Amino acid sequence: MPPKRPFRNRLNDLSPKEWLRFQKSWFVHNPPPRQRQARRHPAKFPETLAQEFVEFFTKRGQRVLDPMVGTGSTLVACLRSGRNSVGIELNPTYARLAQQTVAEERDRLGEQTAELEAEVIAADASQLPDLGLPVVDYVLTSPPYWNMLHARGAQTQRRRRQQDDLDVVYSDHPADLGNIPDYNEFLDRLVAVYAALPAVLRPKAYLTIIVKNVKKGGQVFPLAWDLAARLRRVFTLKDEKIWAQDDIRLAPYGLGNAWVSNTFHHYCLQFRYEP
């Protein structure tokens, strides 16, 4: 019997067992409680989840981009996993919080981050090709879920309005995609941001977009599916992973009257840039 060929991993630094574990098409991830300063952002992305994707789609020392970085979750995940990173954020307040979070994480991790870059750029992601960014090896991003933060009836939004230091929406900036009332205009502008990524994305690199379909006015707007269909013109749609959350209390939506689900899952869409 010929000897087995040694396992050669061209994509990441994971063992075969770790690789197989990530290949499962759905997963449960209940993030730890947010720190006080991070709670200001109304839809913060968990660093623990970001790190799992970063470690699968890159090797140590490679560079990751998040074009809508918020308060810096992706950059923190990259510091923890030994990757360089750059994040773009429209809201200057969140950009400053991201810079502070990155500095605090560097202090916590110590010497192991000394050679790593973790840059926060306060800018509009729609101007990405003009920002002079270096080539990146992976993009991880989660966009606004349309203008759903403006839905006053949402239970979480009501709770946030009762606390003066917690933002209810991302910003009042006219370029903020989360403020666009028309779904088709929102989709057009969001797709334009992601369609410009080949200006900085290495060929054969991956792009992960974490997104959710939206319920509004008694109907579903299939944001994840529409985004996947549009971006297939630019990237190869490789797969999806379903992120399920099982630590959220059920609410009796439509009880005794109509079907309204408790939606506790997100779509992690995997694209590859194959020019």
State residue 42's pLDDT score: 47
DSSP state of 134: P
Report the pLDDT value the prediction gives residue 152, as an integer from 0 to 100: 59
Q: What is the pLDDT of residue 248?
A: 87
pLDDT tens digits, 101-150 = 999 999 999 999 999 999 999 999 999 999 999 999 999 999 988 877 65
Tokens of residue 131, six digits: 């920002």
Tokens of 184: 């088709």
* pLDDT level of residue 41 (50, 70, 90 thresholds): very low
For residue 141, the cross-strand partners are 209
Cα separation of 139 and 64, whole Å? Answer: 6
* Nearby residues of 93 by Cβ (< 8 Å), 6 or more positions away: 40, 171
Average pLDDT over the chain, rounded to whole?
88
User: What single string gives the DSSP state of each residue in the chain?
Assistant: -PPPPPP--SS-S--HHHHHHHTSSEEE--PPPPPTGGGGSTTPPPHHHHHHHHHHH--TT-EEEETT-TTTHHHHHHHHHT-EEEEEES-HHHHHHHHHHHHHHHHHHGGGGTT--EEEEES-GGGGGGS-PPPEEEEEE----TTGGG-TT-HHHHHHHTSTTS-SSS---TT-GGG---HHHHHHHHHHHHHTGGGTEEEEEEEEEEE--EEETTEEE-HHHHHHHHHTTTSEEEEEEEEE---S----TTTTT-------EEEEEEEE---
Q: What is the pLDDT of residues 62-86, one digit of tens each?
A: 999 999 999 999 999 999 999 999 9
**Digit-coded pLDDT (tens) for 96-106:** 999 999 999 99
pLDDT score recorded for residue 207: 98
> Who has greater pLDDT, 179 or 195?
195
What pLDDT, on the 0 to 100 scale, is given for residue 160?
Answer: 41
The reported pLDDT for the residue numbered 39 is: 47
The CA distances from residue 27 to 6, 31, 42, 92, 269, in Å, are: 29, 12, 23, 33, 14
pLDDT digits (tens, 9 = 90+) for 201-219: 999 999 999 999 998 888 9
| Residue closest to 190 by CA, chosen among 175, 205, 202, 203 | 175
pLDDT of residue 35: 59
The domain spans of the chain are: 30-272
pLDDT at 178: 78
Q: Is 265:242 a contact under the CB 8 Å cutoff?
A: yes
Instruction: Yes or no: say if 268 and 208 are a contact pair by the CB < 8 Å rule.
Output: yes
Domain 30-272 has CATH 3.30.9.10: no
What integer pLDDT is reported at residue 43 of this predicted model?
A: 52
Tokens 């490789």 found at: 238
